[in-house]
Structure 1
Amino acid sequence: MSLPHAEWLEWLLDLATPLGLQLSLVGGVVRDQWLGQPLPLKDLDLVVEGPMAWPALVLAEAIVAAAAASQLPPGYQLQQCTPHSSYGTARLQLQINGQLLLCDLSSARSESYGFPGAQPVVQPANLQIDLQRRDFSLNAMAMRLPGLELLDPLGGAADLAARQLRLLHGSSLRDDPTRLLRAVRYGARFDLQWAPASWEQASVMLNSWPWPQGGPALGARLRMELELLFAETNWQGALALLEQWRGLELLQRGWQQLPAASGRYLSRFGRWGAALEPAFTAADLRLFALIDLAPGVVADKQAIAERLQIPQRLWELLGQVAALRHWLQRERPSHSWRPSQWTAALEQPANGGQPLAVLLVLLQPGEPSKYHLLRWLLRWRLQRPAIGGKELLAMGYQPGPELGKRLWQERAKEINKNDKK
């Protein structure tokens, strides 16, 4: 049986064994190995057992020391080690031949939740108990190193064969509602359906949502799960399951249905928006556009964005989109306007004429000003005046409003002259 990054795992074993530590692979690599799918190349999850309280932190310290002494396996470089002492875990970010490898080390532990959506309270435990704390049976499989003995005490392999998602606990979704979004990702990726009892648990959770306590950690976890959903290869299939399995209600109470052709709309906005603003990924922008599709006024959408803790720039963009829509509906700008008139109006801050806002509005079906918005986005906004500020200063203009007015006149002239319908 071949494993990804075998040389790294062998080196870890050599480092861990003298420390009295036992390593086991868990999570996606074990599941995908059983399914016969291509092995993940960028992520490894290991559970660490040992005589100390948080053995994963002991192993992480040894790795950092080895990296400082240039003793890592050939080709491997440690870029960052992020320990989480409260949970007994550490995340390693490594480079191997120019490729990123994330290696999560977790001390075997148990979890309990003080209230729905809270951060878990953890205690040291062994691998058997650690597997029992997980979300789905398909994620509760492990392989002990070095012998690769498969441990499947909770029937994950049988559930995968039956193509079903089975939660491990009666309070699993009550403890962490974001597991519903994880179920959506797995359902789309592996063509799975809910086990009947697990779907009943999901329905009970959704019928009592939102939690009175609010779950202070829930917003960030919801955002991370949605970002992972939109980064899936089959994210459009996951979006369909999100709607079918009532996952939209985690964003807004009573939200049950997406507009027609939402998948195509989100796909275009993610792809073209990332080209316009490379600071955002396509997944970031799909999530933003999904929030914009939520029913209600802009304040309702901004409340979702604030709860999910999306970047401030995207939170502000919701207001810019609303301002642009309001201007288009209120003013009903004439299609006989010259390109410079459209440009001047769109670039007024009060009208929300930012590239991403314009792109989102023009992609919506039935937008009557689509042609003009597209021309501004691709041509008019990029046009520069034939005479620049330096030349005008040399001609005697003084810095101030008159200079700005003349620059705009020169730019408007070029916009109108160079636009060809």
Structure 2
Amino acid sequence: MSLPYPVWIEWLVAIATPLQLQLSLVGGAVRDQLLGQALPLKDLDLVVEGPASWPALVLAEAIVAAAAASQLPLGYQLLQCTPYSNYGTARLQLQTNGGLLFCDLSSARSENYGFPGDHPSVESANLQIDLQRRDFSINALAMRLPNLELLDLFGGRKDLAAKQLQLLHSGSIRDDPTRLIRAVRYGARFDLQWAPASWEQASVMLNSWPWPPGAPALGARLRMELELLFAETNWRGALLLLEQWRGLELLQRGWQRLPRGSARFLSRFGRWGADLEPAFSAAELRLFALIDLAPSAAVDKQAIAERLQIPQRLWELLGQVAELRHWLQRERPSNSWRPSQWTAALEQPGNGGQPLAVLLVLLQPGEPARYYLLRWLLRWRLQRPAIGGKELLALGYQPGPELGKRLWQERAKEIDKNNKK
């Protein structure tokens, strides 16, 4: 086996050794090499052992000091170091000649969960115990540095060969239900299936699943795992497994099936929505649209979004989608309306006429008003009046309602003139 980012890792070993710190490469970098995959492009996970309570923080401090003294390896620049003292970990963000590199340093530790989805309590431990706290045997592989000794305590290589997902202990998925979503991601990425005993453990958890009270950490982790799912290259395959492996039930009790055409709907909304509002990634928007597909009332969908701690703007958007649907059903707008009438109605406060909300509704199969919503989104809302506010003020108009009314009249003329069906 070979080292990813060998210059960086060899430098880390060199500064760790005088501090009596032992480094081990763990997780994806080891697993992917055994699978014959390319070395990771931007993520490294290292476990740090040593005499200090949290040896990873000792190493992080040494790295920060070296960066301040311009002593990092040639071609490496430390952009950020974020320590997490409660867990004995630190995350490094580095600029390299090949792009960004994220390097996670974790002190070897044990974890205990007070209840499902809780923040774990942690204690300093050794590498063997640290590997045991992980999710699947295929992620509990380690390479000791610098001699590249492979450590496989839980049969990870065997499970890779058998193309199966094996949980490490009987309480694994009960302690952290989001491991089910992680299983979906790995299943789609590497074409893996559950080991029978591990699927039984997942089924037991799902059959007794209530959303645990007072578990904000669970919501944040579940959102993160779902966003990572939708960022996968094969996210459509992951979506299929999410349905087959009952992952939808983590969002809403009893949710078993997605509507027909959901993958196409999520794909379009993620891609086009990110063009409309670049502040959100396609993965975030696909997750938002998945919540909207839940077979529940609007208020329940907002409750799902709140539990997942999605951004406030997207939480509010669920309400705007509900307003738009309610307006379309209540008013049943006429196909004979002029473009300016559609524009005025959609842009009326309380009707939900926001670009992302309109996009989501018009992409739903069978939406009767799809043509008009699409025209508003692409043309009518972008139309400006031929004469602007400054010109009207020069003509004697005073700031206020009359000026606004005249501006709208001028804009309506342009909408109807330039955007005929």
TM-score range, shorter chain: over 0.9
In structure 2, the partner of 1:238 is: 238
- Matching of residues 369-384 of structure 1 within 5 Å: 369-384=369-384
When structure 1 is superposed on structure 2, of 205-214 and 306-315 the one drifting more is 205-214
The CA distance in 2 between the partners of 1:98 and 1:45, in whole Å, is: 18
User: Does the residue aligned with 1:283 lie in a helix, a strand or coil?
Assistant: helix
When structure 1 is superposed on structure 2, of 139-148 and 89-98 the one drifting more is 89-98
In structure 1, the partner of 2:130 is: 130
Letter in 1 for 2:188: A
Letter in 2 for 1:29: A
The CA distance in 1 between the partners of 2:235 and 2:44, in whole Å, is: 22
Letter in 2 for 1:174: R
- Matching of residues 334-413 of structure 1 within 5 Å: 334-413=334-413
Deviations 1:327-356 (A, max 9, x none): 111111001100000000001121000000
In structure 1, the partner of 2:191 is: 191
User: Does the residue aligned with 1:203 lie in a helix, a strand or coil?
Assistant: helix
Letter in 1 for 2:27: G
- Matching of residues 78-227 of structure 1 within 5 Å: 78-97=78-97, 99-227=99-227
The CA distance in 2 between the partners of 1:413 and 1:320, in whole Å, is: 28
8 A contact 1:26–1:46 mirrored in 2: yes
Q: CA deviation at 1:147?
A: 1.4
8 A contact 1:117–1:214 mirrored in 2: no
In structure 1, the partner of 2:2 is: 2
Letter in 2 for 1:230: F
The CA distance in 2 between the partners of 1:156 and 1:371, in whole Å, is: 53
User: Does the residue aligned with 1:185 lie in a helix, a strand or coil?
Assistant: helix
Task: Give TM-score scaled by structure 1 length.
Answer: 0.99
User: Does the residue aligned with 2:11 lie in a helix, a strand or coil?
Assistant: helix
Deviations 1:288-326 (A, max 9, x none): 000000111110000000000000000000000000001
Deviations 1:82-136 (A, max 9, x none): 1111111000011112611100000111111111111111111111111111110
Q: CA deviation at 1:212?
A: 4.5
The CA distance in 1 between the partners of 2:33 and 2:83, in whole Å, is: 28
The CA distance in 1 between the partners of 2:257 and 2:70, in whole Å, is: 55
- Matching of residues 238-277 of structure 1 within 5 Å: 238-277=238-277
In structure 1, the partner of 2:415 is: 415
Q: CA deviation at 1:371?
A: 0.5
User: Does the residue aligned with 1:253 lie in a helix, a strand or coil?
Assistant: coil
8 A contact 1:136–1:168 mirrored in 2: yes
Gaps of at least 5 residues in structure 2 are: none
The CA distance in 2 between the partners of 1:70 and 1:155, in whole Å, is: 42
8 A contact 1:116–1:211 mirrored in 2: no
Distance 1:367 1:391, change over 3 A: same
Deviations 1:16-43 (A, max 9, x none): 0111111100010000011010111110
The CA distance in 1 between the partners of 2:239 and 2:265, in whole Å, is: 12
Alignment RMSD: 0.9
User: Does the residue aligned with 1:24 lie in a helix, a strand or coil?
Assistant: strand
Q: CA deviation at 1:241?
A: 0.5
Q: CA deviation at 1:420?
A: 3.6
Letter in 1 for 2:59: L
Letter in 1 for 2:378: L
Deviations 1:149-173 (A, max 9, x none): 1110100010010010000010111
Letter in 2 for 1:192: L
Q: CA deviation at 1:52?
A: 1.3
1:44 aligns with 2:21: no
Deviations 1:213-249 (A, max 9, x none): 3423111111011111000000111011001000000
User: Does the residue aligned with 2:216 lie in a helix, a strand or coil?
Assistant: coil
User: Does the residue aligned with 2:392 lie in a helix, a strand or coil?
Assistant: helix
The CA distance in 2 between the partners of 1:118 and 1:329, in whole Å, is: 42
When structure 1 is superposed on structure 2, of 115-124 and 260-269 the one drifting more is 115-124
Letter in 1 for 2:44: L
In structure 1, the partner of 2:28 is: 28
The CA distance in 2 between the partners of 1:39 and 1:360, in whole Å, is: 38
Letter in 1 for 2:180: L
When structure 1 is superposed on structure 2, of 56-65 and 117-126 the one drifting more is 117-126
In structure 2, the partner of 1:15 is: 15
Letter in 2 for 1:64: V
Task: Give TM-score scaled by structure 2 length.
Answer: 0.99
Gaps of at least 5 residues in structure 1 are: none
